[in-house]
C-alpha cells in the first residue's frame, strides 16, 4: 500500500521434491532411524550384562565362607583345574601321600606350570586342615616356602594349586635311584634353606606358625636347587608370646618329639625336634626309622648319638658322599641335629640360633656334646615319673612318594 514490495518468506514456500533441503532432511531421518535402535540395543545389552554380573556376584558371594574373605587367594574353578591336569590323568600324577594326590598342570592364560593337590575323599585332611593351609601359606611370601597360587572347593573335594617344583621332593634325591645324587654343598644349602623358612615361620612373621610336619618329603626343590618347605595342612597359629593349645598329636613317625606324643601340645620346640631329625636325615641319607630284616628298628637319632659316644660322629655321614664333604660343616650339622632333637625340649635352641650356627655367626657351646648326651626325659618333667598318656586323636601323615616331577 505504501508502494513497497512485501519480502518473501522462503520457509513458507512449498518444498520442491529433489531439492537439497529435502535430501538433507531424509539423510537425518535415516540416520536417526539407524542410530536410535542401535543405542537402544546397547543399553539393553548393558542392562542385561549388568544383571548377570550382579547375579553371579551374589551367587559367588553366597558360596564364599568367612575364612575365604579374610585369607583366600585366587579361587580356581573346577573346570579349569580339570582342564589343566587333563582330567587328572594318571600320566600327570606327580606323587601321592596321606593327604591325596598331586598332579602337574599348565595354566592356559599364563602358560605357567603348577602342581594341583587333590585331597582324597577318605583323607584325614578335612576342611579344618584345608582352611589352615589356605589361611597360612596363602599369605606367606618367602624364598624358602612353597607359594600357594590358589584353591578350589568342588562339592566334597578340596584342591590346592602351588608353584610347580620341577625337581620334586627332597626324598627322591635321598632315597631314589640312583641313590645319593646330592653332593655335600647341595645338602648343606638345603638344610640352611629350610632353616631360613622355618625361622620366618617361628619368629619373623606377624604370628607364630607351627608347621607340625617337617620332613624330607615336604621339602621341594626348584630349578635352581633352592629348597622350599611346603604342605601346611597341619599348621597351627598362635600370637607371639602365647602358648598354642593343640588337642591331638600330628606329624610323621620318627619326627614326633616325645613330649608331643605324651601331651599332644605342639609348639616351636616340637618343630625344632622334627627339624633336627630332618638335618640328620639329609646328612646321613637314612630315614628317621628304618626296619631291618629282623624285627629290630634302627632309630636314626640313637644311631648318630652312638657314633658321637664312640668318638667318631662322622661315621654317620652318608656313605654315598665318600670323603667329599667339609668336615667342620658336617660335624656342625650332626651335632646341631642331635641338639635340636634333644629329648628335653628346654635344651633345644631357637630357630634364630640355629640359623646363626649354620651361617657361622655363632659357635655351638663348648659343652654341646655333654648337653647332647644328657638325654634323660626325667629332666623335662622335674624328676617325676611320667608315663605316656593315651591321646584319643592322632594324625600321622604318610611319607610323600615322589614320582619324577
**Cell of residue 228, nine digits:** 622350599
Q: Where are the beta strands (DSSP E) in 337-405?
A: 394-396, 401-402
**Cell of residue 385, nine digits:** 615319673
C-alpha span between 116 and 114 (Å, rounded): 6
Is the Cβ–Cβ distance between 243 and 267 less than 8 Å?
A: yes
| Partners of residue 154 on adjacent β-strands | 157
From 66, 122, 193, 213, active-site residue: 213
97: CB partners within 8 A, 6+ apart: 217, 397, 398, 399, 400, 401
C-alpha span between 120 and 151 (Å, rounded): 15
Is the Cβ–Cβ distance between 334 and 283 less than 8 Å?
A: yes
C-alpha span between 279 and 337 (Å, rounded): 5
> What does 151-176 look like in DSSP terms, one character per residue?
EEEETTEEEEEEE--TT-BHHHHHHS
| Partners of residue 276 on adjacent β-strands | none
Q: Of 299, 243, 306, which is closest to residue 270 (Cα–Cα)?
A: 243
CA of 30: how far to CAs of 18, 24, 66, in Å? Answer: 16, 10, 56
Active site residue 213: yes
335 a known binding residue? Answer: no
Determine the length of the chain. 405
C-alpha span between 84 and 107 (Å, rounded): 6
C-alpha span between 174 and 177 (Å, rounded): 9
Could you list the residues known to form a binding site, using ranges. Answer: 117
Give the active site residues. Answer: 213
Amino acid at each position: 500500500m505504501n508502494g513497497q514490495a512485501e519480502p518473501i518468506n522462503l520457509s513458507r514456500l512449498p518444498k520442491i521434491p529433489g531439492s537439497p533441503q529435502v535430501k538433507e532432511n531424509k539423510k537425518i531421518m535415516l540416520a536417526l532411524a539407524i542410530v536410535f535402535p542401535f543405542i537402544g540395543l546397547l543399553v539393553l545389552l548393558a542392562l542385561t550384562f549388568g544383571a548377570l554380573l550382579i547375579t553371579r556376584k551374589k551367587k559367588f558371594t553366597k558360596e564364599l565362607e568367612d575364612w575365604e574373605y579374610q585369607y583366600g587367594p585366587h579361587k580356581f574353578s573346577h573346570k579349569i583345574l580339570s582342564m589343566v591336569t587333563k582330567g587328572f590323568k594318571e600320566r600327570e600324577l606327580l606323587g601321592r601321600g596321606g593327604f591325596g594326590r598331586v598332579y602337574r598342570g599348565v595354566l592356559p592364560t599364563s602358560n605357567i606350570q603348577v602342581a594341583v593337590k587333590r585331597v582324597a575323599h577318605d583323607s584325614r585332611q578335612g576342611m579344618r586342615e584345608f582352611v589352615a593351609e589356605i589361611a597360612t601359606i596363602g599369605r606367606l611370601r618367602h624364598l624358602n616356602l612353597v607359594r600357594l597360587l590358589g584353591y578350589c572347593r568342588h562339592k566334597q573335594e578340596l584342591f590346592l594349586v602351588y608353584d610347580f617344583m620341577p625337581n620334586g621332593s627332597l626324598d627322591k634325591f635321598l632315597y631314589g635311584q640312583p641313590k645319593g645324587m646330592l653332593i655335600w654343598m647341595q645338602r648343606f644349602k638345603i638344610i640352611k634353606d629350610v632353616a631360613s623358612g622355618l625361622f620366618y615361620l617361628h619368629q619373623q612373621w606377624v604370628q607364630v606358625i607351627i608347621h607340625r610336619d617337617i620332613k624330607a618329603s615336604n621339602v621341594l626343590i626348584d630349578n635352581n636347587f633352592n629348597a622350599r618347605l611346603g604342605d601346611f595342612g597341619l599348621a597351627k597359629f598362635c600370637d607371639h608370646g602365647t602358648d598354642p593349645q593343640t588337642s591331638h598329636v600330628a606329624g610323621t613317625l620318627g619326627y614326633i618329639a616325645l613330649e608331643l606324643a605324651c601331651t599332644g601340645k605342639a609348639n616351636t620346640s616340637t618343630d625344632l625336634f622334627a627339624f633336627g631329625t630332618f638335618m640328620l636325615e639329609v646328612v646321613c641319607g637314612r630315614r628317621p626309622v628304618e626296619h631291618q630284616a629282623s624285627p629290630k628298628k634302627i632309630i636314626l637319632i640313637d644311631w648318630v648319638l652312638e657314633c658321637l659316644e664312640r668318638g667318631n660322629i662322622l661315621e654317620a655321614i652318608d656313605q654315598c658322599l665318600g670323603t667329599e664333604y667339609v668336615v667342620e660343616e658336617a660335624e656342625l650339622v650332626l651335632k646341631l641335629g642331635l641338639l635340636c632333637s634333644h629329648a628335653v625340649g628346654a635344651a633345644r635352641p631357637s630357630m634364630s640360633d640355629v640359623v646363626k650356627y649354620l651361617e657361622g655367626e655363632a659357635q655351638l657351646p663348648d659343652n654341646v656334646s655333654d648337653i647332647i648326651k644328657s638325654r634323660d626325659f626325667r629332666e623335662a618333667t622335674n624328676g617325676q615319673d611320667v608315663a605316656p598318656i593315651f591321646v584319643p586323636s592322632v594324625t600321622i601323615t604318610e611319607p610323600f612318594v615322589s614320582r619324577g616331577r
